[in-house]
Structure 1
Amino acid sequence: MQTISWGDFEKVELRVGRIVAADPFPEARKPAYVLRIDFGETLGVRKSSAQVTGLYAAEELVGRLVVAVLNFPNKQIGPLMSECLVTGFHNADGEVALCVPDREVPLGARLL
């Protein structure tokens, strides 16, 4: 594992958002949803592709809090311009479980 400095960590904008829409993304190479995530009044709503179809139905994602990286450059994923990177962990079967706060926190709150 590579060691990073505190300054390196401070550069990563990990923020909390609430999923407001989750739609199938049939154009993706691997099964995925297009998520629209609200990061609060200042940061707004951003789109992302998330390969979480193995553990989550689209309708159960709406309303969930998630942690995402907001300061990566936008990335073209098929017809979608992804505006953030939703974080998660692979389980033993290779499916992605979302990284989420375990309590309500303000939208846009930064992980420190």
Structure 2
Amino acid sequence: METISFDDFLKVELRVGRVLSAEPFAQARKPAYVLHVDFGPELGVRKSSAQITAHYRPEDLVGRLVVAVVNFPDKQIGPLMSECLVTGFHDADGAVALCVPDRDIPLGARLL
């Protein structure tokens, strides 16, 4: 594992957002959803492709808080321009489980 400085860590903008909508991403090579995530008035709503289909149904994602990197450059994923990276962890089977706050947090709050 590479060691980084605290200044390196501060460059990564990890923010809390609320999923407004989630739909299957039919054009994705691997099963995924298109998420629209609200990060509050400062950052607004951003789109993301998330390979989280093993543990979540679209209707169960709406309203959930997520943690995402919001300062990566936009990335073209098929026909979708992804504007943030929703974070998660691989479980023992390799499926992704979301990284989420364990209580209500203001939208746009930064992880420190």
TM-score, normalised by the number of residues in structure 1: 0.99
User: What is the aligned residue count?
Assistant: 112
Structure 1 residue runs of 5 or longer lacking an equivalent are none
Q: Which residue of 2 aligns with 1:67?
A: 67
Q: What amino acid is the match of 1:22?
A: A
Structure 2 residue runs of 5 or longer lacking an equivalent are none
Between the aligned partners of 2:76 and 2:86, the Cα distance in structure 1 is 15
Aligned residue runs from structure 1 range 74-85, under 5 A: 74-85=74-85
TM-superposition CA deviations, 1:30-49 (whole Å, max 9, x none): 00000000000111000000
Q: Which residue of 1 aligns with 2:32?
A: 32
TM-superposition CA deviations, 1:17-73 (whole Å, max 9, x none): 000000110100000000000000111000000000000000000000000000000
**Identical pairs, percent:** 77
Runs of 4+ in 1 over 2 A off after TM superposition: none
Q: Which residue of 2 aligns with 1:49?
A: 49
Q: What amino acid is the match of 2:19?
A: I
TM-score, normalised by the number of residues in structure 2: 0.99
Q: What amino acid is the match of 1:84?
A: C
Q: Which residue of 1 aligns with 2:5?
A: 5
The Cα RMSD (Å) is 0.3
